[in-house]
Structure 1
Amino acid sequence: MSENLSYLSARKGLHENLFEKLGQLAEESGTPDLQEMQEIAREYLLGEANIYSTLSFYDFLRPENKGKKAYVCNGSACLCAGTQPRVKSELKNHLKEEEIGEMTCLGRCHENSAFYYNGQNYSGEDITNIASLIRSKTATQETYGTQAQGTAILMQNPLTVELFAKQLKYLFTQTPDQVLDEVHKAHVRGRGGAGFPMGFKLETIKEAEGKYKFIVCNADEGDPGAYSDRYLLEQQPLRVLLGMLIAGYVSGANTGVVYIRAEYPESQTVIRQSIRELEDLNLLGNNIQNSGFSFVFKLIKAQGAYICGEETALLSSIEGQSPEVRVRPPFPAQQGLFNMPTLVNSVETFANVPFIVEHGGDAFNRIGSSQSKGTKLISLDGFFNRPGIYEVEMGTPLKTVIEELGSGFKSDVKALHIGGILGGLVPVSMINSLQVSFESFAENGFLLGHGSIVSIPENFPIIEYIKHLFQFTAHESCGKCFPCRLGSTRGFELLQKATDSNYKIDRQLFSDLLDTMQQGSLCALGGGLPLPVKNALQGFDNELKVYFQ
């Protein structure tokens, strides 16, 4: 990250956002041409190499994807379901091979067979109707189960603009310090994976000095198998936006940025419409409800890069820089977007905040387990009899989620990958030992993460799954640190060689590689990959030992 580049990008700010402009220029052909890149470089006082570095990183901007019309999901859930070869085959009947690309997880894990065409996502039986879909260019309706067990915090009836206005009126009867105190009492931890206390981050940005402050909603956390963010953005949009506004009120920030995955076009549409609706009713802007507080939103469409789910890479992305992970400290709450104090939290974290303000921090704190308060959304994939999004109180037995809410598996499953690509790989024999909480997963050597569940069927080789994890990491690495960039590639090469020949992997060498990635990587992408791989080596040694010496 270059502070100078951040300052240069800040000259135009969010109104003429560099990253957004690059996306607009790419909409027609898939990537800006050379002349357009040169003009942008001159306009923003940046080098052409900086612009090209940014463009070449993203799935939807890089030159080699120019002319692509369809993208096939290569996420973990679709991989394990085995649906994608048919999807590719059907698409080739209607499109040229060079017009078809791949992208990671479209959030259609509940029915698989997922693909993206003409700005829309499709899944399930859509592939059988591909000819009519191409002609009509219309979206289809998807359905998946939703249910709250116990207290509903995130699955309450969706907020209306009238209730939004009412909650704002109540918010403004309290001081920012009073609201912050309730967030502290709630002990709400970030739902993006790390479980960091939100109150601490909120207090840090509140006390930070800066000409401007920003609230950023990280809606680019594209963990394969997790589609709970989609549920909240599309079914509970005003709850997410209200949570961001409350955070702005507490911290003194006047601008909220919603950075949404390119792979979630429907979410972008709903959030854009919700922001416009609030603006039309004067519930955003200057001096909201004569409170003296002003707040505006900016929606930014991401362009396809998993690493942007890491908060500092996301900030670099918004600035139009290559989305490399930043060295910390300084932390974003001290020096974030455009070098100004910035609060970055996940969609689900922000969606919890309205409940805390309305009912009080103690009410939230009474729900859940000793170290994990509130509820958690769980995503169940297509291997369940009742796939969908379920809200459970923290501390709920995992067995309850699988057998009661998901109604068990459709076919034999040997492992569950829980918490996203960097989450724990849990043998089904351990289901009875786990509860849905940060501490339960950590104590058993796993990670709750995003709360997604990808089922690995009995007939899917574990060696192929961990090879997929290395390949994913190698593709999505920002490349800034050697342990992640090189370690993921070397790990994939070792596994590939072992499956393609009689080569046996040296266990000590492989262990050293994992330890180097875990200890030396700058962020959780390279640092988190070793966890599920080590889980696999421990839980499925009998299956994997043939590849090692």
Structure 2
Amino acid sequence: MSDNLSELLGRKGVKENLFDKLGNVAKQDGTPTEDELAKLADEFLIGKANTFGTASFYDFLKPENKGKKAYVCNGTACVCAGTQEAVIDLLKNHFVLDEIGHMTCLGRCHENSAFHYGGNNYSGTAVNNLNRIIDSDNNLNQDIYNVKDNGAKILTQDFTNISEYYQPFKDALKKESSDVLEEIKTSNVRGRGGAGFPMGLKLEFCRNVKNDTKFIICNADEGDPGAYSDRYLLEHQPHAVLFGMLISGYVTHANYGILYIRAEYPEAVKIVQNAIDALETQGLIGESIDDSGFDFQFKIIQAQGSYICGEETALINSIEGQRPEVRVRPPFPAQKGLFNKPTTVNNVETLAALHYIISNGGQAWKSIGTERSSGTKLVSLDSFFNNPGMYEVEMGTPLSVVVNELGGGFKQDVKALQIGGPLGGLVPVSKINDLTIDFESFSKEGFLLGHASVVCVPSDFPIMKFIEHLFDFASYESCGKCFPCRLGTKRGQELSEKALTSDYKIDRALFADLLTTLEQGSLCAHGGGIPLPVRNAMQYFDDELKQYFN
């Protein structure tokens, strides 16, 4: 990371944003031209190599994206469902192959057959209506999925109206910000993006750093295939997210809120912007909100296709307009984040929890769930369940209840569940009765709760093919900053593919060394996390895998 580059890219503030402008100039052809990159470099006083380096990293900015007209989801849920080859075949009736790209993932895991065209996402049976979709300006596929709870209805509660919903925020503005922060700390709400770090401490770290400019970032780059809980909140509960950002700004003395929303969720961008506009109309954003002296502004930045941007420092680099490479820590974002200013990054679901906490007090949230995993958690169930959809469950709920009662069991034979995204554990169905939905249970059993997305691996899907898919995903999405991840994930993919397509046998000792190097040598959880599901696979499916090893 270059401090000087961050300062240059931040001199115009968040409204005049290089990354935003790169996305805008790429819209027509799918990639910026050399002249456009040169003009932006001059405007922001940086080198042409910087703008080219940034544009060439992202799926939807890189030169290879030129001329792409349709995109097919290649997320794990769709891959395991086996629906995507048929989607590609049907799209080829309307587009040449070079006009078809990929997206990972569209968050349509509940029905698969997902693709993107004309700024909208489609799934399920929509692919059978391609003629109408291509000839119409209307989005003909508004997806519908189950949204239910098993107890406390918090994140899935019905929205009332702006005046009533934001009254707790107005009440909080009349209190000392330190007292409001104490309620968040009392709740012990932990990050829902995967790491499970206490939110109150994260906010306090930023609060304690003195600086006139601070940022609250909503990490809405929900890139874990199988997860669509953030998409649900952004599209159906946007005010819960905005409320959480306002409160976070108040307790940290931050005046700017940035929502970094992935390009794969175009509908979410429109819905959240409409919600922001409604707040502005009601005087709930801007200068001295409700005569409190607290100023706050929102800015949406649309991502351009990169899984690594889910890592908070890579996300910060992305917003600045740099390549989204992971930063070395310390310093942490709370000390030196966006444009070198104190920054707090929280994921969508974490922020959405604050409305209940501020409305009812920290102890009310703390009383739900378990001692160390308080509150509720959204769980995404994919298309292999009889009742796929979004379920809000109290922390500590048995996984068997989620699978068999809420999800209604499986439509066909399933041998494993990948829970928590591509870096999450691979849970054999034999372990379902041993787990509860909380951080401690999963950690104790050698898995990871993460986003709590559930992707089913059907009985006829080879585990070695699943391992190759994981390594391929990790290799493609690596930021390339550190050698272990950049090289190790590719080596894992090559070994897996070679074993699948030839008589080659993988040396177990060397493979174990590769996994250990990734775990211990990677700069962030991307390279460090991918060995977990691979080790799970080798532990629980050795009978199936032993033919590939010696």
Q: What is the TM-score of this pair, normalised by structure 2?
A: 0.99
Opposite residue 137 of structure 1, the aligned amino acid is D
- CA–CA separation in structure 2 for the residues paired with 1:363 and 1:5: 45
- Tell me, yes or no, if the aligned pair for 2:484 and 2:522 is still in contact at 8 Å: yes
State the Cα deviation string for residues 169-221 of structure 1 (Å, max 9, x = none). Answer: 21122211111111111011000000001111110100112230000000002
Matches within 5 A, 1:197-208: 197-208=198-209
- Tell me, yes or no, if the aligned pair for 2:166 and 2:243 is still in contact at 8 Å: no
- CA–CA separation in structure 2 for the residues paired with 1:354 and 1:547: 51
- CA–CA separation in structure 1 for the residues paired with 2:347 and 2:478: 20
Q: Which residue of 2 aligns with 1:343?
A: 344
Between 1:33-42 and 1:307-316, the stretch displaced more is: 33-42
Matching of residue 513 in structure 1 with residue 511 in structure 2 = no
Unaligned 5+ runs, structure 2: none
Opposite residue 190 of structure 1, the aligned amino acid is G
Opposite residue 15 of structure 2, the aligned amino acid is H
Opposite residue 537 of structure 1, the aligned amino acid is M
Q: Which residue of 2 aligns with 1:5?
A: 5
Q: Which residue of 2 aligns with 1:498?
A: 499
Q: Which residue of 1 aligns with 2:146?
A: 145
Q: Which residue of 1 aligns with 2:57?
A: 57
SS in 1 for 2:21: helix
- Tell me, yes or no, if the aligned pair for 2:222 and 2:228 is still in contact at 8 Å: no
SS in 2 for 1:344: strand
Opposite residue 384 of structure 2, the aligned amino acid is F
- CA–CA separation in structure 2 for the residues paired with 1:482 and 1:133: 44
- CA–CA separation in structure 2 for the residues paired with 1:499 and 1:460: 13
SS in 1 for 2:174: coil
Q: Which residue of 1 aligns with 2:85?
A: 85
- CA–CA separation in structure 2 for the residues paired with 1:507 and 1:219: 38
Opposite residue 108 of structure 2, the aligned amino acid is R
Matching of residue 24 in structure 1 with residue 27 in structure 2 = no
Opposite residue 287 of structure 1, the aligned amino acid is S
Matches within 5 A, 1:323-338: 323-338=324-339
Q: Which residue of 1 aligns with 2:108?
A: 108
Matches within 5 A, 1:26-425: 26-139=26-139, 140-425=141-426
Opposite residue 261 of structure 1, the aligned amino acid is R
- CA–CA separation in structure 2 for the residues paired with 1:546 and 1:15: 56
- CA–CA separation in structure 1 for the residues paired with 2:111 and 2:263: 20
Cα displacement (A) at 1:164: 3.2
- CA–CA separation in structure 2 for the residues paired with 1:168 and 1:328: 33
SS in 2 for 1:522: coil
State the Cα deviation string for residues 32-86 of structure 1 (Å, max 9, x = none). Answer: 1111111111111111111111001111100011010000000000000000000
Cα displacement (A) at 1:415: 0.2
Q: Which residue of 1 aligns with 2:469?
A: 468
State the Cα deviation string for residues 482-528 of structure 1 (Å, max 9, x = none). Answer: 01000000000011111111110000000000000001111111000
- CA–CA separation in structure 2 for the residues paired with 1:99 and 1:368: 48
Opposite residue 72 of structure 1, the aligned amino acid is V
- CA–CA separation in structure 2 for the residues paired with 1:9 and 1:20: 12
Cα displacement (A) at 1:159: 4.7
- CA–CA separation in structure 2 for the residues paired with 1:11 and 1:169: 32
Cα displacement (A) at 1:137: 3.1
State the Cα deviation string for residues 411-454 of structure 1 (Å, max 9, x = none). Answer: 00000000011001000000000000000000000000000000
- CA–CA separation in structure 1 for the residues paired with 2:362 and 2:102: 44
- CA–CA separation in structure 2 for the residues paired with 1:392 and 1:195: 16
- Tell me, yes or no, if the aligned pair for 1:383 and 1:411 is still in contact at 8 Å: yes
Q: What is the TM-score of this pair, normalised by structure 1?
A: 0.99
SS in 2 for 1:421: coil
- Tell me, yes or no, if the aligned pair for 1:160 and 1:238 is still in contact at 8 Å: no
Matching of residue 542 in structure 1 with residue 543 in structure 2 = yes
- CA–CA separation in structure 2 for the residues paired with 1:64 and 1:185: 49
- CA–CA separation in structure 1 for the residues paired with 2:217 and 2:538: 38
SS in 1 for 2:11: helix
- CA–CA separation in structure 2 for the residues paired with 1:165 and 1:380: 31
State the Cα deviation string for residues 216-257 of structure 1 (Å, max 9, x = none). Answer: 000002100000001100111001100000000001001100
Cα displacement (A) at 1:13: 1.6
- CA–CA separation in structure 1 for the residues paired with 2:95 and 2:164: 47
State the Cα deviation string for residues 313-351 of structure 1 (Å, max 9, x = none). Answer: 000000000000000000001100000000000000000
Opposite residue 460 of structure 2, the aligned amino acid is N
- Tell me, yes or no, if the aligned pair for 2:174 and 2:292 is still in contact at 8 Å: no
Would you identify which runs of 4 or more consecutive aligned residues in structure 1 move more than 6 Å?
none
State the Cα deviation string for residues 88-147 of structure 1 (Å, max 9, x = none). Answer: 000000111111011111000000000000110000000011111000132121100000
- Tell me, yes or no, if the aligned pair for 1:498 and 1:504 is still in contact at 8 Å: yes
Question: In structure 2, do the counterparts of structure 1 residues 174 and 425 end up closer, same or farther at CA, with 3 Å as the change threshold?
Answer: same
SS in 2 for 1:12: coil
- Tell me, yes or no, if the aligned pair for 1:159 and 1:236 is still in contact at 8 Å: no
Opposite residue 3 of structure 1, the aligned amino acid is D
State the Cα deviation string for residues 264-296 of structure 1 (Å, max 9, x = none). Answer: 001101001000111112111001111111111
Cα displacement (A) at 1:162: 1.5
State the Cα deviation string for residues 3-51 of structure 1 (Å, max 9, x = none). Answer: 1110000112211100000000001111111111111111111111111
- CA–CA separation in structure 2 for the residues paired with 1:103 and 1:354: 32
Question: In structure 2, do the counterparts of structure 1 residues 440 and 410 end up closer, same or farther at CA, with 3 Å as the change threshold?
Answer: same
Matching of residue 525 in structure 1 with residue 509 in structure 2 = no
- CA–CA separation in structure 2 for the residues paired with 1:61 and 1:163: 42
- CA–CA separation in structure 1 for the residues paired with 2:170 and 2:512: 57
- CA–CA separation in structure 2 for the residues paired with 1:38 and 1:450: 39
Q: Which residue of 2 aligns with 1:489?
A: 490
SS in 1 for 2:327: coil
- CA–CA separation in structure 1 for the residues paired with 2:498 and 2:46: 43
Cα displacement (A) at 1:355: 0.7
Opposite residue 201 of structure 2, the aligned amino acid is F
Cα displacement (A) at 1:165: 3.4
- Tell me, yes or no, if the aligned pair for 1:159 and 1:239 is still in contact at 8 Å: no
Q: How many residues get paired?
A: 549
Opposite residue 48 of structure 2, the aligned amino acid is E
Between 1:38-47 and 1:425-434, the stretch displaced more is: 38-47
Opposite residue 385 of structure 1, the aligned amino acid is N
